[in-house]
Amino acid sequence: MCAYRRLMERIQARDAEGNLHVILVHQDFDEVATAHGVCIRPGAQLFETDGRLKINWLNERQFEIDSTGEILNRILSTPAK
């Protein structure tokens, strides 16, 4: 049972046309019964756009919009000089 969900990360990505998308990464935390009582453990992660479109994680740099199959590429941040 999911006890709560927490926003863990915001990822900026671009589609093939150069449009910017924000991918929200949510982490579920589950209640687990143990011999010593109930504890909370990390569960599934959920990826979605800020517009609530479901996202499939492909690899560290690519994501897919589930409903359209459109590929989004992560914008890698460059360290400040």
From first to last of its 81 residues, the chain has per-residue pLDDT tens of: 678 899 999 999 999 999 999 999 999 999 888 888 888 889 999 999 999 999 999 999 999 999 999 999 999 876 666
CA distance 19 to 2: 34
pTM equals 0.82
